[in-house]
């Protein structure tokens, strides 16, 4: 029997409906809600992601502020753009679209964003609050994964969760969120140097892949009946594909996210949720 398909598109529509109501309530109180992006260079994937983010924002009534800089922009120009957005009262949240061109320091740009306007949840201050289990904007992609699990009634308490990947964008915060009190999964953080990675993955009741290698995780990595969340977004000649060999794994997993249409829409929906939460906090 094929796995249940966990549609991020479906969940994102439910999230956007709630956000739309929240935005309308804020506007009725005279509160501006704006999402700004800083995009540097000509990377096609980044331009596509940013375009989708602004489309989603406009659908729920959030004002879009789109700042584009050329590929040869200097670090000073990038930081100046962030500073300008930090100072604007109509910007509730912002993101610096990563990756930046090689000559720029992406981490420094992210750190320049005020923690109170950090729609991506990636500022070190907010990541520190996540580590301490204190309220903060949550990293968008891991937050989107948690929302998918919640929407489909998947209780991970007591599960063994294997997170493959240890980036500050996904892997590390994902592991923290799954292991938090009240969520209570037992988390294994795996990575490229994990011995016998396939065996470790087969121990997972919940397998989350975030490595950026098309089709790496075939059926040999998956325990029958496991829940598989594919965070990978890899552009190939055949289109956008995930880290998971979907055609194989869908036949043995209990539930699986597709690519496209899985985690991606939920990452963007989480940005909207964070932006509204930041606007609400700023107006209190």
Interatomic CA distance for residues 158 and 134, integer angstroms: 23
| Cα 142 to chain centroid, rounded | 5
Q: Which of 53, 56, 189, 230 is catalytic?
A: 53
Nearest to 75 by CA among 48, 49, 44, 40: 40
Q: Using an 8 Å Cβ cutoff, are 2 and 250 in contact?
A: yes
Q: Is 120 considered catalytic here?
A: yes
Whole-angstrom distance, CA of residue 51 vs CA of residue 43: 12
Instruction: Say how far residue 282 (Cα) sits from the centre of its chain.
Output: 23
Q: Is 53 a catalytic residue?
A: yes
Q: 162 near 188, Cβ under 8 Å? A: yes
Q: Is 237 one of the catalytic residues?
A: no
Residue of 56, 97, 118, 243 marked active site = 97
- Candidate list 120, 223, 230, 243, residue with the active-site label: 120
Catalytic residues: 53, 97, 120
């Amino acid at each position: 029997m094929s796995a249940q398909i966990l549609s991020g598109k479906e969940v994102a529509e439910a999230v956007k409906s709630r956000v739309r109501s929240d935005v309308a309530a804020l506007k009725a109180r005279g509160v501006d809600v704006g999402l700004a992006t800083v995009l540097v260079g000509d990377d096609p994937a980044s331009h596509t992601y940013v375009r989708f983010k602004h489309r989603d924002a406009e659908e729920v009534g959030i004002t879009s502020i789109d700042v584009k800089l050329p590929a040869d922009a200097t670090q000073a120009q990038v930081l100046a753009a962030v500073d300008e957005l930090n100072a604007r009262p109509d910007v509730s949240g912002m993101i610096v679209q990563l990756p930046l061109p090689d000559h720029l320091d992406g981490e420094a740009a992210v750190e320049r964003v005020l923690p109170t306007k950090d729609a991506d949840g990636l500022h070190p201050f907010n990541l520190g609050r996540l580590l301490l289990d204190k309220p903060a904007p949550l990293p968008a992609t891991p937050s989107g994964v948690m929302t998918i699990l919640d929407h489909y009634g998947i209780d991970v308490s007591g599960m063994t969760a294997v997170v493959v990947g240890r980036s500050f964008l996904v892997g590390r915060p994902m592991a923290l969120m799954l292991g938090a009190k009240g969520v209570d999964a037992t988390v294994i953080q795996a990575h490229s140097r994990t011995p016998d990675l396939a065996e470790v993955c087969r121990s997972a009741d919940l397998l989350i892949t975030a490595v950026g290698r098309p089709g790496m995780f075939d059926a040999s990595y998956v325990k029958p009946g496991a829940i598989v969340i594919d965070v990978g977004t890899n552009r190939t000649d055949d289109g956008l594909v995930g880290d998971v060999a979907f055609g194989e794994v869908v036949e043995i997993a209990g539930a699986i996210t597709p690519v496209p249409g899985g985690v991606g829409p939920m990452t963007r929906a989480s940005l909207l949720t964070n932006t509204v939460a930041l606007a609400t906090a700023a107006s209190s």
